Chains A and B, each alone.
Chain A
Amino acid sequence: MRIKIFIALSCIFLFMESGRSQTDLDAIMMNKNQFCNGLQYAHSSWKNYWEGELKRENLNLGTVTTQSVMYMANYGITDNLNIMVGAPYIWTKPSAGNMSGMNGIQDISAFVKWRAYQKKIGKGKLSLYAIGGISTPLSDYVIDFLPFSIGLGTTNLTARGMVDYLVGKINLTGSAAYIRRGNAELDRNSYFDTELRLTNEINMPDAAQYQLRAGYRGKYLIAEGLLTNWTTLGGFDITRNNMPFPSNKMNNTTVGAYVKYTIKQHTNLSILGSANFTVSGRNMGQANTYSAGAFYAFYFGKNHKK
Chain B
Amino acid sequence: MIRVKYFYILLLVFVIGAGISCSKDIVNRTDDAPALSPANTDANAGTWKPILLTSPTEFAVAAPGAVTTPDYVAQINEIKSWQARMTEEDKAIVKYWSAGAILRWGEIMRELVAKHNLAPVANEDGTYPVPSATNPLAYPLFPFANPPYAARAYAYVSAAQYDALVAAYHYKNVYKRAAPYVVDPSVNVLIPKSDLPSYPSEDATVVGAAVEMLKLLFPGDQDFIQRKAEEHKRARIMSGANVRSDIEAGEALGRSVASKFVTRARGDRAGAAVGTPAIWAQLEQDAIAKGEIPWISQETPKRPPMLPLFGKVKTFLFDSLTAISLRPPPPPSTGSEQMKKETEEVYQFMKNLTRDQIAITHFWADGVSTYTPPGHWNAIATDDFITKNFSEVRWARNMALLNMSLMDAAIVCWEAKYYYFNPRPVQLDPRIKTTAGLPNFPSYISGHSTFSGAAANILGHIIPEKAADYDAMAKEASMSRMYGTIHYRSDCEVGLVVGKNVGSYAVQRARTDGAE
**Chain A residue at minimal CB-CB distance from B367:** A243
Chain B proximity mask over A51-92: 1 for CB below 8 Å, otherwise 0: 000000001100000000000000001101100000000000
Q: Report chain B residues within 8 Å CB of A159.
A: 12, 16
Which of A78, A99, A134, A191 is the one whose CB lies under 8 Å from B370? A191
Measured between C-beta atoms, what is the minimum distance from B120 to chain A in Å? 7
**Chain B residue at minimal CB-CB distance from A80:** B5
Question: Given that A59-B301, A241-B119 are contacting pairs, would A196 and B434 also be in contact in the complex, using a CB cutoff of 8 Å?
Answer: no
Q: Which stretch of B24-32, B161-169, B335-343 is in the interface?
A: B24-32
Of listed A78, A97, A202, residue having the most chain B CB within 10 A: A97
Q: How many residues of A contact B (CB 8 A)?
A: 50
- Given the complex of chains A and B, what is the CA–CA distance between A132 and B485 in angstroms? 43
Q: Report chain B residues within 8 Å CB of A187.
A: 358-359, 362-363
- Given the complex of chains A and B, what is the CA–CA distance between A96 and B430 in angstroms? 11
Q: Which stretch of B65-73, B108-116, B307-315 is in the interface?
A: B108-116
Measured between C-beta atoms, what is the minimum distance from A86 to chain B in Å? 18
B23-58 at interface with A (beta carbon < 8 Å): 24-30
Q: Report chain A residues within 8 Å CB of B296.
A: none
Does A145 lie within 8 Å of B379, measured CB to CB?
A: no
- Given the complex of chains A and B, what is the CA–CA distance between A199 and B107 in angstroms? 13
Chain B proximity mask over A143-185: 1 for CB below 8 Å, otherwise 0: 0110000000000010100000000000000000000101100
Measured between C-beta atoms, what is the minimum distance from A48 to chain B in Å? 15
- Given the complex of chains A and B, what is the CA–CA distance between A101 and B140 in angstroms? 29
> How large, as a class, is the contact surface on chain B?
35 or more
A182-204 at interface with B (beta carbon < 8 Å): 182-183, 186-192, 195-199, 201-204
Does A81 lie within 8 Å of B4, measured CB to CB?
A: yes
Is B84 interfacial (CB-CB < 8 Å)?
no
Does A145 lie within 8 Å of B8, measured CB to CB?
A: no
Does A197 lie within 8 Å of B26, measured CB to CB?
A: yes
Q: Report chain B residues within 8 Å CB of A145.
A: 362, 435
Is B139 interfacial (CB-CB < 8 Å)?
yes
Measured between C-beta atoms, what is the minimum distance from B307 to chain A in Å? 18
Question: Given that A60-B300, A243-B369 are contacting pairs, would A180 and B363 also be in contact in the complex, using a CB cutoff of 8 Å?
Answer: no
Does B111 lie within 8 Å of A192, measured CB to CB?
A: yes
**Chain B residue at minimal CB-CB distance from A104:** B355
- Given the complex of chains A and B, what is the CA–CA distance between A195 and B118 in angstroms? 14
Is B433 interfacial (CB-CB < 8 Å)?
yes
**Chain B residue at minimal CB-CB distance from A190:** B379
Which of A60, A101, A116, A239 is the one whose CB lies under 8 Å from B5? A116
Contacts A59-B301, A99-B437, A196-B114 known; 13 new A-B pairs at CB < 8 A: A78-B1, A78-B4, A180-B19, A187-B359, A187-B363, A192-B114, A192-B369, A192-B370, A198-B28, A201-B26, A241-B119, A242-B118, A243-B368
